[in-house]
Structure 1
């Protein structure tokens, strides 16, 4: 996707003065909250490489080029893009990617594990139940961490849901939903209902929506 980000920073910043900017979800809420179509400055090549060294991984190309050409965080889908800069952990990543691959198959293991939660009625004594539950709970913590190995959390959707970018493994560059708030694990985002959604598709789809909402003739009336 050569030149995919040409003019995108300017288009986003122009929405700061659009009459219907408040109609775009996540742009403005509360007294002074929301991304308000502001963007952090882009990273320099040196800053990007330092951030990658800190995480032990080369980021997917679409996201990489976004950080270099559009901004290091700010306006975007949901409540905006979490900042990613060297020397910080503000990208909300629960575990550093390093070189371990993202494994979506862990989601099925996690779902099965949740179904296998011990019940008191299945044990002869409180002691046996407590022992089994402690082991189950420890494995639950392990699987929750494994779910997001090799990912970066990009944005908060609200109500405890997040958008996640796979940065390692065969799925690198694709987007996923963190749905632990539903008692589940991680699920792929789909593009046009079928194929995996990539970072550029996700961001540009949002920008087209934001421009429609913010610049429509009745916006702000």
Structure 2
């Protein structure tokens, strides 16, 4: 079933590259509707062995039948590949935020309480309290490093798959009760990660996220051509 949902998707994405209206789709100048080659079954097996988890079925089928990454929502899906050192990595702005050694840990659906976040904010150093600019910078850096929103403990069991610009990102949960669900990361705006949902309120899976984007990109490209 998961393989079936991706039948023809690679061809649809590639067809968009030659559509005059495609240039109007957000992210076009970043990915140009190009897709990486799919992973081989052997490569996928090696990746999952490294992570210690089986990836969500729709995402693993995407990797096998559509591509290892490339064209997709916003600036595209981070390609998963082996780096020069032979280690697997998701290549993109934030792709290295995922801790490969902690993929088996359960992604925390219970997030930091507002009180904890407010308490941290209240401890922010005031520059007016420092005579030495260097001392202020050191105090601020130490405070910033304690920010509970940016603790690696909050993203264990998840993969960073996409960025929207301005340090805003999307994550796919691979371990825990929300396995297979997409989460929205707006910590750059001081907002904790939030689970993503479809229009009907159901949890948004990787396939929901990607195929909704593809349908919208096709519609936008088509409508742009029709109005010119």
TM-score bracket relative to the smaller structure:
0.7 to 0.9
Q: In the alignment, what sits opposite 1:31? A: none
Alpha-carbon distance between aligned partners in 2 of 1:216 and 1:73, rounded to the nearest angstrom: 26
176 and 70 in structure 1: CA distance in 2 versus 1, 3 angstrom threshold: same
Alpha-carbon distance between aligned partners in 2 of 1:45 and 1:201, rounded to the nearest angstrom: 23
Q: In the alignment, what sits opposite 2:223? A: 216
Give the superposition deviation at 1:193: 4.9
Alpha-carbon contact 1:19-1:219 (below 8 Å) kept:
no
Q: Choose 8-17 or 92-101, whichever is displaced more.
A: 92-101
TM-score (norm: length of structure 1): 0.83
State the secondary structure of the residue aligned to 1:156: strand
Q: How does 1:44-193 map to 2 (within 5 A)?
A: 44-86=40-82, 87-91=87-91, 92-94=95-97, 95-96=99-100, 97-105=102-110, 107-109=111-113, 111-117=114-120, 118-119=122-123, 139-140=146-147, 144-193=151-200
Aligned-residue CA RMSD in angstroms? 2.7
TM-score (norm: length of structure 2): 0.81
143 and 212 in structure 1: CA distance in 2 versus 1, 3 angstrom threshold: closer
Alpha-carbon distance between aligned partners in 2 of 1:40 and 1:26, rounded to the nearest angstrom: 16
Alpha-carbon contact 2:72-2:210 (below 8 Å) kept:
yes
What CA deviation, in whole Å up to 9, does each residue of 1:87-134 have, x standing for no partner? 3323414222431010121x234x43221124489xxxx9xxx9xx99
Alpha-carbon distance between aligned partners in 1 of 2:55 and 2:62, rounded to the nearest angstrom: 11
Alpha-carbon distance between aligned partners in 2 of 1:144 and 1:99, rounded to the nearest angstrom: 17
Alpha-carbon contact 1:102-1:148 (below 8 Å) kept:
yes
Q: In the alignment, what sits opposite 2:208? A: 201
Alpha-carbon contact 1:166-1:175 (below 8 Å) kept:
yes
Q: Choose 134-143 or 55-64, whichever is displaced more.
A: 134-143
Q: In the alignment, what sits opposite 2:18? A: 17
Alpha-carbon contact 1:113-1:140 (below 8 Å) kept:
no
Aligned length: 207
What CA deviation, in whole Å up to 9, does each residue of 1:130-155 have, x standing for no partner? 9xx99976653596211111000110
Q: Unaligned regions of 5+ residues in structure 2, if any? A: 131-135
177 and 167 in structure 1: CA distance in 2 versus 1, 3 angstrom threshold: same
Q: Unaligned regions of 5+ residues in structure 1, if any? A: 29-33
